[in-house]
Amino acid sequence: MNMELEMEMKKKTCIAMVPCPGHGHLIPLLEFAKRFLLHHRDDFHVTFLIPTLGPPSPSTIAIINNLPSNIDFTFLPPVNVQDLHIQTDHPVPQMVLTVRHTLPSLKDALASLTSRTNLVALVLDVFSLEALHLAKELNISSYLAFASGAATLSFTLSFPKFDESFSSEFEFQPEFLDLERTMDVPGCDYASFKVKDLPDPVLFRRSGEIYTLFLSVCQKASLVDGIIVNTFNDLEPEAMRALHNGSSSRSVYAVGPIVAQPNQNQDEKIDECIAWLNHQPSKSVLYICFGSGGTLSQEQVNEIAFGLELSGHKFLWVVRVPNKIPNSGYVIGQKEDPIQYLPPGFVERTKEQGLVVPSWAPQIEILAHGSTGGFLSHCGWNSTLESIVHGVPMIAWPLFAEQRMNAILLTDVLRVAVRPQGEEDGVENREEIAKVVKRIMDHGNEEGLEMRKRTQELSYAAAAALTENGSSTKALSSLAHELLNKNL
């Protein structure tokens, strides 16, 4: 670290941020740091301490290298995945245990920061809460940066109580778990969440490691000094009220929507996608993507392909190598060409109708484009907010994690999404897929027009929350005031 940066950090209030492994967890924390410092750059400096399972990806390095000068970073020594002794492909153990194995080097890095800066707070991702005790040891404040919404946060904080209910009422065998039982999530009376809709670690009751680690995460979430949540008041007002009312000793800051900004650098894939979109009519293209880690079975890939062809609507589809495990993209590298897994002749037959992109596409740029009229999404919270910010209605296709809860919020409460019905043997058929595509994309369809109107209203509300006097900007100012007082 150069002398000039050392001097700057000594003069400012410093914050350390620890994401858990995974691009989808790093980006929201980075975007929050940039948003926070945009408003309070003269007072604060942020240091990222990043746990890793191996060398950072080229895309991660590109993002890190373009951070403003008041954010610096350290990649902690990588953990060998073999040392984790994980018996499952589920990402929760991988993320939590990676942070756990990183604790010695993280402790050294924090001690070094404390000795040479005015370090006042440790900001943790939900799956890096393993490091919570280090804040107590260093006598600094701890904050949870919750990358999902207020409803999921409310569930997370309440889950230890739900666990007691599960222990007394449910058997360990999944076949005896009442998946249709309605769960009362504080502040979420507006939505009917059933056991089957809850984050999927809940359904792994029989798989002790996943369930136990998830329960431990939820217990630690209640012990932080403050919570920063990526939502805005007008999106989830009831859940936010419940969080404020239930957190008398802890501040909860709704600072969203925090979404990634368009890439300013030249990129061949960005150029390809945007060039294609530039030749399509307004609001005519359905964008299809299942996040950075979502995967579908071969059967489901086939049905989506035939459903898109049957619908006749324009599409831009990010295709990933099929896998029966819906979150395998987080733990299995993409070494094959996913295009080869599409039905024979599909690409040729639909070359005038759609564009197929392997593995990754510039989502922000696509959603912001005037030709994009719908988004078939896995309902990850990052994607959900990005779609709302850009006023794009959705087809909800949740796969794992908290995505089923998000889908219910989008379809039943906000009514900015539709959801396929009629799943058979875990696979949605092509006729139903074509039907929901038409519901959202046919411009003469009253239901689609209403969804587009409501999504646009939420887009305006999201923009208003981020204005100088908006609710999220005020929440950032309150957080900054709290942190500065800790430095007095």
Which amino acid would we find at residue 241?
R
The helix/strand count (H/E) of the chain reads as: 17, 15
Strand ranges (DSSP E) for 156-307? Answer: 182-183, 193-194, 226-229, 251-254, 285-289
Q: Residue 380 is part of which domain span?
A: 268-463
Residues 236 and 279 grouped into a single domain? no
Q: Which two tokens stand for residue 280?
A: 């399509």
Strand ranges (DSSP E) for 320-358? Answer: 354-358
* pTM score, whole prediction: 0.93
Query: Beta 394-396 vs 44-50: how paired, if at all?
Result: unpaired
Contact 398, 407 (CB under 8 A): yes
**Would you say residue 168 lies in a domain?**
no
Q: Is 139 helix (H, G, I), strand (E, B) or coil?
A: coil
> pLDDT 10s digit of each residue in the chain, 488 long?
566 656 666 678 999 999 988 777 888 899 999 999 999 989 999 999 999 888 887 778 888 888 899 999 999 999 888 888 877 778 888 899 999 999 999 999 999 999 999 999 999 999 999 999 999 999 999 999 999 999 999 999 999 988 877 665 554 444 456 778 888 899 998 888 988 899 988 876 655 788 889 999 999 999 999 999 999 999 999 999 999 987 667 899 999 999 988 876 657 778 899 999 999 999 999 999 998 888 999 999 999 999 999 999 999 999 999 988 787 555 555 568 999 999 999 999 999 999 999 988 999 999 999 999 999 999 999 999 999 999 999 999 999 989 999 999 999 999 999 999 877 777 999 999 999 999 999 988 899 999 999 999 999 999 999 999 999 999 999 999 999 987 66
What is the secondary structure of 254-269 as a DSSP string?
E-----PPPP-S--HH
- Nearest-angstrom CA–CA distance, 176 and 170: 7
**Would you say residue 300 lies in a domain?**
yes
The domain that holds 448 is classified in CATH as 3.40.50.2000
Residues 359 and 479 grouped into a single domain? no
Report DSSP state, residue 257. Answer: -
Residues 251 and 375 grouped into a single domain? no
Residues 236 and 275 grouped into a single domain? no
Residues 420 and 386 grouped into a single domain? yes
Residue of 187, 180, 186 lying closest to 158 (CA atoms): 186
Residues 147 and 281 grouped into a single domain? no
Which residues lie across from 253 on neighbouring strands? 228
Q: Which of 25, 90, 313, 369 is catalytic?
A: 25
Which amino acid would we find at residue 453?
K
Number of structural domains (the chain) is 2
Residues 214 and 349 grouped into a single domain? no
**Would you say residue 109 lies in a domain?**
yes
Q: Which of 45, 125, 313, 369 is catalytic?
A: 125
- Nearest-angstrom CA–CA distance, 250 and 223: 9
- Nearest-angstrom CA–CA distance, 120 and 113: 10
In the residue annotation, 25 being an active-site residue is answered as yes
Residues 250 and 295 grouped into a single domain? no
**Would you say residue 138 lies in a domain?**
yes
State the burial class of residue 273 (Cβ atoms within 10 Å of its Cβ: 0-12, 13-18, 19+).
Answer: buried
**Would you say residue 33 lies in a domain?**
yes
Cβ neighbours of 141 (radius 10 Å) = 18
**Would you say residue 158 lies in a domain?**
no
C-alpha atoms less than 13 angstroms from C-alpha of 153 in its C-beta half-sphere: 30
**Would you say residue 193 lies in a domain?**
no
Residues 244 and 280 grouped into a single domain? no
Contact 9, 115 (CB under 8 A): no
Residues 243 and 335 grouped into a single domain? no
Residues 6+ positions from 101 with CB-CB distance below 8 Å: 79, 83, 84
